Amino acid sequence: MIKAGIIGATGYAGGELVRLLSAHKETEIVWYGSRSYIDQKYADVYRNMFRIVDAACMDDNMEELAEQADVIFTATPQGFCASLVNEDILSKVKIIDLSADFRIKDVSVYEQWYGIRHQSPQFLPEAVYGLCEVNREDVKKARLVANPGCYTTCSILTAYPLAKEGLIDMGTLIIDAKSGVSGAGRGAKVPNLYCEVNESIKAYGVASHRHTPEIEEQLGYAAGEKVLLNFTPHLVPMNRGILVTEYASLKRKTDAEEIKAIYDRYYGDEAFVRVLENGVCPETRWVEGSNYVDIGFQIDPRTGRIIMMGAIDNLVKGAAGQAVQNMNLMFGLKESEGLELVPLFP
DSSP string, 44-67: HHSGGGTTT--PBPB---HHHHHH
Which residues are identified as catalytic?
150
What are the residues whose beta carbons fall under 8 Å from the beta carbon of 82, sequence distance 6 or more? Answer: 101, 102, 118, 119, 120, 123
DSSP 146: E
Query: What is the Cα–Cα distance from 144 to 123, expressed in whole angstroms?
Result: 8
- Taking a C-beta distance cutoff of 8 angstroms, is the pair 104, 110 a contact? yes
Between the CA atoms of 139, 134, 152 and 340, what dihedral angle is there, to the nearest 10 degrees? -80
Query: What is the Cα–Cα distance from 333 to 206, expressed in whole angstroms?
Result: 40
Query: What is the Cα–Cα distance from 251 to 168, expressed in whole angstroms?
Result: 5
What are the residues whose beta carbons fall under 8 Å from the beta carbon of 162, sequence distance 6 or more? Answer: 168, 248, 259, 262, 306, 308
Query: What is the Cα–Cα distance from 7 to 61, expressed in whole angstroms?
Result: 9
Determine the distance from the C-alpha atom of residue 139 to the mean position of all C-alpha atoms in its chain, rounded to a whole number: 15
Cis previous bond, 282, omega within 30: no
DSSP 281: P
